[in-house]
A and B are shown apart, each in its own frame.
Chain A
Amino acid sequence: MFRPNMRVYVSLLIVFSCPTLAPHLVCANSTTKADEPLVASKPTLPVARRISSLIDEQIQNGTKDYAKLASPVCSDGEFVRRVYLDLTGRIPSVTQTRAFLDDNHPDKRAALVDQLLETPEYARHISQRLDVMLMERLRKKYINVTLWEEYLRDAVAENKPLDQLVREILAADGSGKGQQAEARFYLARDGDVNELTRDISRIFLGANLTCAQCHDHPDVAEWKQDHYYGISAFLVRSFVFTDKKKNQTVFAEKAEGEVKFESVFEVRDKTSKGPETTLPVVFNGPKVAEPAFKKGEEYNVKPAKDVRPIPKYSRRAQLGDALTSSQNRRFARTMANRLWAMVMGRGIVHPLDADHSDNPPSHPELLELLTDEFIASGYDLKWYLRELVLSKTYQRSSSNELFASKSDQELSDAQFAHAILKPLTPEQFSRSVLEATGQAEVYRQSLKDKLSEAALRKNLVGYERQFVSLFGGLPGEPVEGFETTADQILYLSNNGSIQGILSPRNGNTADRVLKIPADQPEQIAGELYLSVLNRRPDATETQEVAELLAGKTGAARNDMVIDLVWALMMSSEFRFNH
């Protein structure tokens, strides 16, 4: 951990926010200093309603025989790994793992959650998840990606309300000094109205309206062409403009322009009434009326060659408000569902962008509750994630004796009766590999007093980029399901940068394991398993390690330890957040 005043802060939080908890603390290794704390200076958790137990009630009510089908609550080992991955984006270090497993306090899980929510790593990790959600790994275009990443990270660190964040992003045209990063959402898509309409409805409204561009959606009766063009109408006047003098590209706007659409089916049938049009409107909300101007008076700055026009009235400026307004529950519902899926491994509405009556939520009342409460909290990310991870639903084991005997139907993931295996994101995978091998620790030691999340990331980002390029999927495509390719495995198996960090180096995993005397196989196996899989080995596993190392000395012993670290790290147990 990076913040020296963590303890004080955490205890404040606990006192304010969860009076039922004793002010107990997990003693993690909070010995290092931060040069730039990323956390806001005042506690941001409001005294909000606890809904963890309501979540569990709704989930249990959703399935007949839930009690019989449900997995037990997960072990401490499963929990510590899962919650570090979900809240900080990496597995815990061996020290953090030991500290948690050795802690005997009954409330240690809640205390750990509160502690992790205040780390700079939380801000980095959650902002990266938001980044992937918003940008779908689109490459750099016009806007500096680092600026954008910092903007998101600061927003998460200060726990900016999610609706406010989205409004800022949708209001930005990139012209103002302080808001260039925010304009990335529009500019990385090159201002393409259709691409933006598709992405805005998919990401923020849970509706993939792509098919409704050309006609009413063929498979979803309630998605009309009007819905598509209602969103387009906010954007149709905007375009990408490069100011040559300032050497700056912005998302500019004209004072005129309407959407026109007709169904291609009608054209073919020759029954077309001719093109239709609509005012800007978000789904079934109110149409956004606009002021009328006398001809010639529509602009503050009139369009001219090489000049950015500025209309008196901006249609696009209405989009963020209309989208996040209290009259549009779809936004809150979609966000509540997306964050649920991020933590639980599957949406209550699933797929996430298919929220319509033919694809009902698995737990309709729960989704309503989450939507209401997320709005009531003021779109408080930290509060919401805390409630989710403190639920029993989140803390169920992924292991279930019944898997061998029950059908897929009976143990469907949609029942949330067991933890769903979540493939590590490329960022989680790379960070966790670096933590498991001890490479992250090597860097921490070398940074010493200068250690901060930002400084550490600088050292690790090269690895992160390699993982993202191999495991990150196609730019502009939503992440769905789990894909794996031979290329990825060849990288993990043969690439020099992975092989390089396995070798013993002062303080890394192989080094620590090799320093344990050969006549203590239990310690050796323990160190290995705690470092890589964040749990203690069972008797069979200890035995296996002992046999593999028996009689080996020097280089042979060295190699065997490296191979063990690799094998554990490449196992399914490591590849998934379970």
Chain B
Amino acid sequence: MRCNYACGSHDSLSRRSFLGGTAAGALSMLGFQGMTQATAAKQLAAQQKQVVVFWLSGGVSQLETWDPKPGTETGGPFLSIPTSAPGVHISELLPYTAQQMHHLALVRGINTKENDHGKGAYIMQTGRKEQPGFAFPYLGSTFSHHLAPPNSPLPGYISVGAGGSSAESTFLGPRHAPLVLSGGRAPNNLGRHDALSEERDLLRRKLRSQVSQRFEQKRKTAHTEVYNESFDQAAALMSRSDIFDFSKFSDKDLERYGKHDFGRHCLMARQLVEKGVTFVKVGHTNYDTHSENFNFHIEQLGEFDRPFATFISDLYDRGLLEHTLIICMCEFGRTPRINSRIGRDHWGSAWSIALGGAGIKGGAVSGKTNETGTKVIDREVNGGHLFHTYYQAVGLDSTEEFYPNGQPIAKADPKTEPIKEILA
């Protein structure tokens, strides 16, 4: 799809003239680095809200996680257990998470009416149904746009083990596209080449920008802007390569989080949050359990539970949970009916997510499904409600419009409203 972000708007023009010629981007970066660690940390704590999404791709079963129905025909073999939040029970597959429940809220009344992976993922990450001809940005890009400090050298949206495409940011432009740490590694080629001094590097970039600017004077520039901004982004990354140094985790931490990819990715996410990255997405996969649903969930949630719980408790201990919103979600839930292969299929009409941290009332539960989990019977919500809730949790007015490309865009679906009962 053609990139049509910010074409010809005043916003983009001023940003271009700002970046052009003087390598101002690079200079402002140096300014930020010059700040003392303490001041920077203080500022972050004072103003900056952060968001971490755990994306359980394939569609985790709500019945084996947040909305168990033990003893019913659809409930499957697992029991439910009490949690640190009085009265709230979740599946016995999440014993560690149960101990953090006082930090988390559950939304059990989701009906997105969508059983297709791609379309479900779109609804959950944009708050809207797909519509032809207009692409909303994904929430990583949206929150990078709203929350990341304007001159921050840090990328606003980093994806760890969850994939991501630079198309996610749509009209918000490449500055808010995900930086994908593929294979959970720091980006390659992050260090300046030995032959180059910092001074030479700056000069080369300045020259590059001048030549480009001359070329762009009489041309359509949607593509070239994307290209130019990626040079600024690369320079910013180089100036903050410390956030990608993942070599210093203690043995104890590695032990606590588990010696598998997901455990390590959670540790990386913790570091990225500590260093001030606005939005982090962490992926855990293999939940599309059309067969052997229960064995798969024992395995997958067995891996997920402890690092997820440890992450929440670490963020709380470090005082970061106060300003960090945590969302644990996926594209849809799974059918209450157990199919002939002992699997569960796609189910968007009655399922749950968990969220916690900044702006969220720990231990709160919204929505209810019937006894067998086939229908929402109280407080039905969809992607729009969830987006209002995310916005308000981080202190933004979700009922406003914003003007990323000169046109008004509703932050969240105006036909819906926030789930107030779980907001702190």
Q: Are the CB atoms of A499 and B174 closer together than 8 Å?
A: no
- Distance A496 CA – B194 CA, assembled complex (angstroms): 9
Contact A494 B219 (CB under 8 A): no
The stretch of B80-88, B226-234, B336-344 that contacts the partner chain: B226-234
Q: Which residues of B contact A548 (CB under 8 A)?
A: 207
The reply to whether A423 and B190 contact each other, CB–CB distance below 8 Å, is no
Interface residues of B (CB under 8 A from A): 1-3, 7-8, 132, 155, 165-167, 174, 177, 179-180, 187-193, 195-196, 200-201, 203-205, 207-208, 210-212, 214-216, 218-220, 223-224, 226-228, 230-231, 233-234, 237-238
* Contact among A219, A351, A413, A484 for B166, CB-based, below 8 A: A484
Category for how many chain A residues contact B: 35 or more
- Residue contacts A-B, CB under 8 angstroms, 18 given: A398-B219, A400-B219, A403-B218, A413-B220, A423-B223, A481-B3, A483-B166, A484-B166, A487-B189, A493-B234, A494-B189, A494-B193, A494-B238, A567-B211, A570-B208, A573-B211, A573-B212, A578-B219
What does the 1/0 interface line of A468-496 toward B look like (CB < 8 Å)? 00000000000011111111111101111
The answer for the CA separation of A487 and B230 in the assembled complex, in Å, is: 9
Asked whether B215 lies within 8 Å of A491 as measured between CB atoms, the reply is no
Select which of A485, A566, A572 is within 8 A of B228 by beta carbon: A572
Smallest Cβ-Cβ distance to B191: which chain A residue: A494
Question: Does A20 make an interface contact (CB < 8 A)?
Answer: no
Chain A proximity of B182: nearest CB distance (Å):
8
Q: Using a Cβ cutoff of 8 Å, how many contacts connect chains A and B? A: 135
A421 touches B224 (CB 8 A): yes
A455 in contact (CB, < 8 A): no
Residues in B with CB closer than 8 Å to A369 are: none
Of the listed residues B192, B219, B237, the one surrounded by the most CB atoms of chain A closer than 10 A to its CB is B219
A563 touches B203 (CB 8 A): yes
Chain A 546-578 per-residue mask, 1 if CB under 8 angstroms from chain B, else 0:
001000000000010001101110111101101
Q: Choose one: B7, B180, B207; the contact of A563 (CB below 8 Å).
A: B207
Residue of B nearest to A488 (CB): B230
Nearest CB of A to B93, in Å: 30
Q: Does A65 contact B (CB under 8 A)?
A: no
Is A399 a contact partner of B219 (Cβ separation < 8 A)? yes
Q: A408-B7, A481-B3, A567-B204 are in contact. Are A487 and B187 (CB under 8 A)?
A: yes
Least Cβ–Cβ distance between B231 and chain A, in angstroms: 5
- Contact A481 to B228, CB < 8 A, known contacts A408-B8, A489-B234, A563-B203: no
Closest to A575 in B: B227
Judge if A304 is at the interface, Cβ distance under 8 Å: no
Task: Assess whether B230 is in contact with A489, with CB atoms less than 8 Å apart.
Answer: yes
Distance of A351 Cα from B1 Cα, bound (Å): 8
* A423 vs B212: C-alpha distance when bound (angstroms): 14
Residues A572 and B188 in contact, CB atoms below 8 Å apart? no
Which among B189, B226, B237 is the interface contact of A482 at CB below 8 angstroms?
A: B226
Given that A485-B166, A490-B187 are known contacts, is A499 also in contact with B219, CB under 8 Å in the complex? Answer: no
CB-contact partner of B204 in A486, A540, A566, under 8 A: A566
Q: A563-B200, A571-B215, A578-B219 are in contact. Are A486 and B187 (CB under 8 A)?
A: yes
Min distance, Cβ A85 to any Cβ of chain B, angstroms? 16
Does chain B have a CB within 8 A of A288?
A: no
**Contact in complex: B190, A494 (CB < 8 Å):** yes
Is A18 on the interface with B (CB-CB < 8 A)? Answer: no
* Chain A residues whose CB sits within 8 angstroms of the CB of B196 once the complex forms: 494, 499
Whether A483 and B223, one on each chain, are in contact in the complex, defined by CB atoms closer than 8 angstroms, is no
Q: Whole-angstrom distance between the alpha carbons of A573 and B208 in the complex?
A: 10
Mask: chain A, 398-424; 1 = CB below 8 Å from B; 0 = not: 111101100110010100001011010
Q: Which residue of B lies closest to A419 (CB)?
A: B219
Contact of A421 among B180, B189, B219 (CB under 8 A): B219
Interchain CA distance A132-B269 in the complex, whole Å:
36
Determine whether the beta carbon of B234 is less than 8 Å from that of A570.
no
Q: How far is the CB of B215 from chain A (nearest CB, A)?
A: 4
Question: Whose C-beta in chain A lies nearest to the C-beta of B132?
Answer: A219
Given contacts A351-B1, A499-B193, contact A573 B230 (CB under 8 A): no
Known: A484-B226, A493-B234, A494-B189. 6 other contacts (CB 8 A): A399-B219, A482-B226, A484-B230, A486-B233, A496-B193, A559-B200
List, in ascending order, chain A residues with CB within 8 A of B203's CB: 563
User: Which residue of chain A lies nearest to B4 when distances are taken between CB atoms in the complex?
Assistant: A408
**Are B231's CB and A576's CB within 8 A?**
no
Known: A351-B1, A481-B1, A571-B212. Is A403-B195 also a contact (CB below 8 A)?
A: no
The listed residue (A481, A559, A568) touching B167 by CB distance below 8 A is A481
Q: How far is the CA of A418 from the CA of B226 in the complex (A)?
A: 20
Q: Mark A300-323, 1 if CB is under 8 A from B, else 0.
A: 000000000000000000000000
Q: Is the CB of A489 within 8 A of B224?
A: no
CB distance from B19 to the nearest CB of A (A): 13
